[in-house]
Amino acid sequence: MIISTKKLLIIERAVELFAKSGFESTSVQEITEACGISKGSFYLYFKSKESLLFSIFEVFIDRVSKKVASVFEMDSSPKDKLELFLCIQFEEIDQYSDFILMLLREQTKPEDTELFVLMQQMDKQLNDTLKELLVGVYGITIKRHIPDMTIMVKGLIKGYIELIIMYNRNLDFKKLANFLLYRIDSLVSGLTTPFLEEDFILKIDDKKTT
């Protein structure tokens, strides 16, 4: 991931503009104007408007991945790792929140798009990470509940992220992560029969990678 200064400039300005008005509604013209460069120059750095979106996403994923990786390299208890992981989700998404909101809104579905693939890879990565963390914390007995737990933990995270995004709330991420840790505990302790089959997530993620 080596990116020229100019390319980064375009990415940064574009993130802001996309966040404000959406992808379709932001013209290349507006982007180049915001960068103080010519329209022609844009195509020197990006093959198309869509490829810019792709680059933005790449940069974002790169950042999150690095942070998550650092969590695993740390020498702390599984629970602390899970808590840290939750915290990172909030921190990162807080920074890119407007852009993420745009992505949610605009990303056109076509399942073959490069961008879509990227999003799915990211989701799979998130699923894997969560699984590892949950098994780390609750032992292998949790395994049959992984699909449900993954969905539910992601749901809880999303619930609070929406608050951050939609209402620009400044929340104490550390406290929130700690709070959620105990909610996850509650959920786990109450589990009996899983709703989803054990290999549910697996199946989905397999579809993604093939």
The residues that touch a second copy, with contacts defined as CB under 8 A, are 19-22, 24-25, 101, 103-110, 148, 151-152, 154-160, 162-163, 167, 175-176, 179, 182-183, 185-187, 189-193, 195, 204
Does residue number 20 form part of the binding site for DNA (CB under 7 A)?
Answer: no
- Contact pattern from residue 39 through residue 58 relative to DNA, giving x for each residue in contact according to CB under 7 A and a dash for the rest: xxxxxx--xxxx--------
> Do the beta carbons of residue 168 and residue 101 sit within 8 Å?
no
Q: Looking at beta carbons only, is 36 or 110 nearer to a second copy?
A: 110
Q: How far is CA 103 from CA 78, 109, 119, in A?
A: 32, 11, 10
Contact segment (CB under 7 A) with DNA among 34-42, 92-100, 129-137, 157-165 equals 34-42
Instruction: Name the binder of 160 from a second copy, DNA, none, CB < 5-8 A by kind.
Output: a second copy
Within a 10 A sphere around the Cβ of 64, how many other Cβ atoms? 18
State the nearest-atom distance from the C-beta of 56 to DNA, in Å.
14
Closest C-alpha among 14, 12, 21 to residue 102: 21
Cα 34 from Cα 29, distance rounded (Å): 9
Cα 22 from Cα 14, distance rounded (Å): 10
Provide the residue count of the chain.
210
- Contact pattern from residue 174 through residue 203 relative to DNA, giving x for each residue in contact according to CB under 7 A and a dash for the rest: ------------------------------
State the nearest-atom distance from the C-beta of 168 to a second copy, in Å.
11
Within a 10 A sphere around the Cβ of 45, how many other Cβ atoms? 19
For tokens 């909101």, name the residue. Answer: 101
The contact set with DNA (CB under 7 A) reads 4, 6, 25-29, 37-44, 47-50
